[in-house]
């Protein structure tokens, strides 16, 4: 790796022969020219391929043999010839089963987006081909990329309707379609894109109205729809977007008046509705938009007097209300030298407006309040109050009825070979049900263990009332008699194919060397897991019909599905908060058995205090510190008063890299990394510094959550918000890698 130096010349033509075992090739930010050697196709072990910000020309050779390829960064070169087959190498990427990122922005790629992108890896999450010369339509098969989070197609020559299949990309957070020639209406399927925080579709030929379903975009911060042919009114639902910071609807055919409650947009910094056909008065509530620095309403049909509430906009830097029917409108521009007002001009420079847009976007990017990946799937769990076989919704309109005999058969007689773990009061087995050959996890309770029966009841009660994408999904429960006449109780869950967080954080303890590397989690994966777990706790504490305290949060109780989405499991110690606090004396006596697991249990529980959400927050803080330091709270190094919390707190004041999980340090390029480690980040010094800052922010959250005093711990909803903000910074840093010019973000 030799990025960001002054190296020049061509890459050696035999690079794929002499370095055939290479895992990471990063020569970005140098002065290389010429074409990419065709021998690159011999680097069959290559994972990270970056030649960005150089002067390479010509076409990209076949990458068909590069099955391990995960990240491709070719941005800011002169690649492509403007010909129809410039992206033919896309066809050779369908064999790359680990491909997650492709950035080609600011090149000369011509031709069309090939249908082959619909066959990219299921891990594929980032596509940036902005600022090229692409033509044609967006392939409808793009809807197959269900894990796509960032899609940049701006500043090309794409045309046709925006395919409704984009609405299938429910994880999409950033969508850039600006400066093309798309026509037609905004697809109704966009209603499903509830994770968006960045949406740019300016400078197209879009028509129709702005859909009212925008109210579902709770985390939208930067929408730009200007310079289209949109009509109708500005939907009143837009005022519910409390995180909105930039809104541009200029140069359309919008009618009606501004929403009366526009003042609810307290975070709004820029509002541009110029050159439309808006009527009525300027709402007085706009004075509540105290963050506004730019307000442009010129060239409409607004009337009446200016609301005195405009005086509250103390931070305003640009205000244009010209060319309206406002009282005294002639004095709003020109003719007052003392105010240095420019002459009225309805034809503004688009380049000036775009520069302002980019400047604003990047100035607010590091203060984002947060993103939230909303509920993608709601799991329905019903229980019947019966001591025998319960009836629980399984699939369609049928019900699953399971007996002791069926579970015995499913687990091959509860064979030790199928034992996959243990939880509170029982053991967990992998099983296969006859019905559809469904793979399940069967938790069999050890009823000889004190409290096991109560645990079964607690889990049934808790699990029947919860439904969240980050909580384990229960299929059914079984209370029966085994063949020896003993009571038998079991819970049946969806099987989580990727194991537990415990196994991923400490692979040496659970897997052989062949599987160790595959379990290593990079920074963004850990951040996503942290958000998943925090979201689950936020739901349990605030949004259940009866708030629930989990009481046993730890890495072994965090499970991963096939997409590495985290699910909190094991509610054997869970307590309903209202039930616990309604009888404090009873709870005080029973809390002795509700201590959770050593190292993760809140210290106040050891003194007999009542269970509370802050106890879960403590456990979460310890878990978060463990995730990013790689150290268990019961590590032998923690003795004589030293705890994981104190260890991390002291390190923040000295050298944070000394406590970070060595795997992360290597992955992020903060020390010299072995070529066998997958590099997950760009290795420029600015990028590394930004990721380190994000890492420090995460550790601060873990420290704040694990404070000894419950009153000094963070609220879990604030944890979710701050972690989303950190992820936004991380992802925007990735976006920034898409090109050295800030214009590439649109």
DSSP state for residue 478 in the 8-state scheme = E
**532 three-state secondary structure:** helix
| CB of 495 closer than 8 Å to CB of 410 | no
Q: Which two tokens stand for residue 557?
A: 């109780």
Q: Which two tokens stand for residue 306?
A: 């200016």
* 587: Cα within 13 Å, side-chain hemisphere: 18
| CB of 608 closer than 8 Å to CB of 587 | no
- Residue 158 and residue 46: Cα distance in Å, rounded? 32
Q: Give the position of tokens 């109704």.
A: 188
- Residue 702 and residue 645: Cα distance in Å, rounded? 8
Q: Give the position of tokens 């606090």.
A: 581
Length of the chain: 746
Strand 205-209 and strand 181-185: the pairing is parallel
The Cα-based distances of 146 to 66, 120, 150, 564 in angstroms read 23, 11, 11, 14
552 noted as active-site residue: yes
Cβ-proximal residues to 231 (8 Å cutoff; 6+ apart), any chain = 207, 208, 209, 252, 253, 254, 255
- Residue 555 and residue 620: Cα distance in Å, rounded? 10
Among 165, 272, 532, 552, the one annotated catalytic:
552
Q: Which own/partner pairs from 380-383 qualify as long-range (CB within 8 Å, at least 24 positions apart)?
A: 380/467, 381/463, 381/464, 381/466, 381/467, 381/473, 381/474, 382/464, 383/460, 383/463, 383/464, 383/477
* 456: Cα within 13 Å, side-chain hemisphere: 25
| CB of 194 closer than 8 Å to CB of 374 | yes
- Residue 71 and residue 120: Cα distance in Å, rounded? 12
Active site residues: 552
């Amino acid at each position: 790796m030799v990025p960001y130096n002054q190296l020049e010349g061509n890459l050696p033509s035999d690079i794929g022969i002499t370095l055939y075992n290479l895992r990471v090739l990063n020569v970005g930010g140098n002065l290389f020219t010429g074409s990419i050697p065709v021998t690159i196709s011999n680097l069959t072990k290559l994972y990270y391929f970056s030649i960005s910000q150089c002067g390479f020309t010509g076409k990209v050779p076949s990458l068909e043999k590069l099955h391990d390829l995960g990240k491709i960064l070719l941005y800011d070169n002169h690649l492509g010839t403007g010909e129809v087959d410039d992206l033919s190498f896309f066809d050779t990427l369908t064999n790359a089963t680990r491909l997650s990122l492709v950035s080609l922005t600011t090149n000369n790629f011509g031709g069309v987006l090939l249908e082959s992108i619909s066959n990219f890896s299921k891990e594929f999450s980032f596509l940036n081909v902005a600022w090229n010369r692409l033509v044609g339509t967006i392939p409808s098969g793009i809807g197959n990329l269900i894990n796509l989070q960032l899609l940049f197609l701006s500043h090309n020559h794409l045309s046709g309707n925006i395919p409704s299949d984009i609405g299938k990309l429910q994880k999409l957070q950033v969508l850039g379609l600006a400066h093309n020639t798309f026509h037609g209406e905004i697809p109704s399927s966009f209603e499903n894109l509830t994770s968006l925080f960045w949406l740019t579709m300016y400078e197209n030929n879009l028509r129709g109205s702005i859909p009212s379903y925008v109210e579902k975009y709770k985390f939208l911060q930067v929408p730009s729809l200007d310079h289209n042919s949109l009509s109708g009114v500005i939907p009143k639902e837009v005022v519910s977007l409390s995180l909105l910071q930039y809104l541009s609807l200029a140069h359309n055919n919008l009618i009606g008046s501004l929403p009366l409650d526009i003042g609810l947009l307290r975070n709004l910094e820029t509002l541009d509705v110029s050159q439309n056909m808006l009527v009525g008065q300027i709402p007085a509530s706009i004075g509540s938009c105290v963050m506004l620095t730019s307000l442009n309403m010129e060239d409409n049909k607004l009337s009446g007097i200016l609301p005195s509430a405009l005086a509250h906009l103390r931070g305003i830097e640009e205000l244009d209300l010209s060319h309206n029917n406002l009282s005294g409108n002639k004095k709003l521009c020109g003719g007052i030298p003392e105010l240095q007002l420019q002459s009225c001009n309805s034809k503004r420079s688009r380049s000036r407006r775009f520069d302002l847009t980019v400047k604003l976007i990047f100035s607010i990017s590091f203060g984002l309040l947060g993103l939230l990946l909303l509920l993608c799937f709601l799991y329905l769990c019903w229980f019947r109050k019966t001591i025998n076989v319960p009836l629980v919704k399984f699939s369609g309109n049928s019900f699953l009825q399971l007996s002791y005999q069926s579970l015995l058969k499913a687990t091959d007689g509860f064979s030790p070979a199928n034992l996959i773990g243990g939880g509170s009061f029982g053991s967990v087995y992998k099983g296969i049900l006859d019905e559809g050959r469904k793979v399940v996890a069967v938790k069999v309770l050890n009823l000889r263990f004190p409290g096991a029966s109560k645990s079964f009841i607690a889990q049934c009660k808790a699990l029947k009332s919860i439904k969240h994408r980050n909580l384990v999904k229960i299929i059914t429960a079984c209370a029966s008699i085994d063949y020896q006449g003993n009571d038998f109780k079991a819970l049946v869950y969806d099987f989580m194919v990727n194991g537990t967080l415990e196994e991923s954080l400490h692979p040496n303890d659970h897997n052989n060397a062949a599987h160790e590397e595959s379990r290593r989690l990079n920074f963004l994966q850990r951040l996503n897991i942290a958000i998943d777990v925090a979201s689950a706790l936020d739901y349990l504490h605030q949004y259940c019909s009866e708030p629930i305290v989990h009481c046993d949060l730890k890495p072994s109780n965090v499970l991963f599905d096939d997409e590495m989405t985290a699910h909190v499991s094991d509610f054997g110690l869970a307590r309903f908060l209202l039930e616990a606090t309604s009888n404090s004396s009873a709870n005080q006596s029973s809390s002795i058995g509700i201590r959770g697991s050593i190292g993760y249990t809140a210290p106040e529980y050891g003194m007999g205090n009542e269970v509370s959400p802050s106890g879960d927050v403590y456990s979460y803080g310890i878990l978060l510190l463990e995730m990013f330091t790689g150290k268990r709270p019961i590590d032998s190094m923690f003795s004589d008063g030293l705890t994981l919390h104190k260890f991390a707190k002291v390190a923040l004041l000295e050298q944070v890299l000394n406590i970070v999980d060595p795997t992360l340090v290597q992955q992020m390029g903060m020390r010299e990394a072995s070529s066998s480690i997958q590099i997950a980040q760009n290795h420029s010094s600015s990028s590394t510094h930004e990721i380190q800052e994000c890492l420090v922010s995460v550790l601060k959250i873990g420290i704040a959550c694990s404070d000894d005093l419950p009153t000094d711990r963070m609220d879990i909803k604030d944890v979710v918000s701050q972690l989303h903000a950190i992820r936004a910074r991380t992802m925007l840093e990735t976006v920034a890698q898409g090109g050295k010019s800030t214009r590439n973000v649109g």
